[in-house]
Amino acid sequence: MAYSLPPPPPPPPSLPLHNHFTRRSLLLLSTTTTTTTTLSLTSTPPPTPTVTDRVFMDFSLCPNNFLPDRANTLSPICSDSTLLGRVVLGLFGNLVPLTVSNFKSVCLGSNATSSSYKNTLVHKVFPGQYLLAGRQGRPDKGEVRPPRDLPRNTETVDAKAFALTHSRPGVVSLSLSENDDDDDVKLDPEYRNVEFLITTGPGPCPQLDSKNIVFGTVLEGLDVITAIASIPTYQPSERIRQFNDLAEFFGDGRAQNARNIWNRPLTTVYISDCGELKVTKPSLTPSLP
């Protein structure tokens, strides 16, 4: 006698897809949502800078390779100087208004009170990277003394002020991480940082990003910046560097003083004049080199 197997029982009714969640699917859904949110945040493009103000700086050369003390701080650094050229800087006043306002104040500062960048040195040049100017201190040594009424720059603690990068030659930024003002100057309750840097190229300087506030760019005269970058600078020998590191390790304060002359141009470079160029209408994103 042949026996036939009974038919299999019908499958249980399937639940609608939208009601069927497992712990794994919930975890995957949460991870996907988080990843998508993170990607959308990290892919936010940097702000588009607009040139709202323009200032000029005339750079001059002096044949001597050191700066003597000047009895009169209003006199030029050098009586036998050669004009190297004019640099026009475009400033991003909409992005970092406090930094731009303070920079303009020192550009327009009174030479009678030594509160201007005029007659101050380009005191450091790092070949292939950037130059430093606006060191704060004694005007008779080619250093700047900021105006007493210069507002405190709260943008130095605002993360949004560090959004732009040092991606090309001609970037102008407020020198914070690279600032080499003397410690006794920085400890003054009325201290205001006015030292700035300009990248010289040929490549970017990513080591400066997120540490210094980019507030402008070179609109004209990048060839002047390139010429400054080509001036020979003082470079200590390896033995001197080793002695300096050892002195710093033992807490000898003279080590820092010795480093102040490293990377100093062997031909004196200084800002012989500076001022504002009126902008009737803010421009769009500058065409950078």
Strand partners, 216: 91, 172
The Cα angle at residue 128 between residues 126 and 132, in degrees rounded to 5 = 35
The encoded tokens of residue 13 equal: 């009714």
Residues 6+ apart with CB under 8 A from 125: 131, 132, 200, 228, 229, 231, 233, 263, 264, 265, 269
The Cα angle at residue 193 between residues 178 and 189, in degrees rounded to 5 = 125
The encoded tokens of residue 180 equal: 């080499």
Q: pLDDT truncated to tens, each residue of the chain (289 aa)?
A: 454 555 555 655 554 444 444 544 444 444 444 444 444 444 566 678 899 999 999 999 987 655 555 555 556 677 788 999 999 999 999 999 999 999 999 999 876 667 899 999 999 999 999 999 999 988 888 899 988 889 999 999 999 999 999 999 999 999 999 998 988 888 888 899 999 999 999 999 999 999 999 999 999 999 999 999 999 998 877 888 787 788 777 777 777 777 777 789 999 999 999 999 986 665 555 544 3
- Tell me the one-letter amino acid at 31: T
The encoded tokens of residue 110 equal: 């009174």
Gap between the Cα atoms of 189 and 148, Å rounded: 12
pTM of the model: 0.78
The encoded tokens of residue 114 equal: 């030594």
CA-CA-CA-CA dihedral for 247, 179, 204, 84, to nearest 10? -110
* DSSP strand pairing (171-174 vs 130-133): unpaired
> What SS3 state is found at 157?
helix
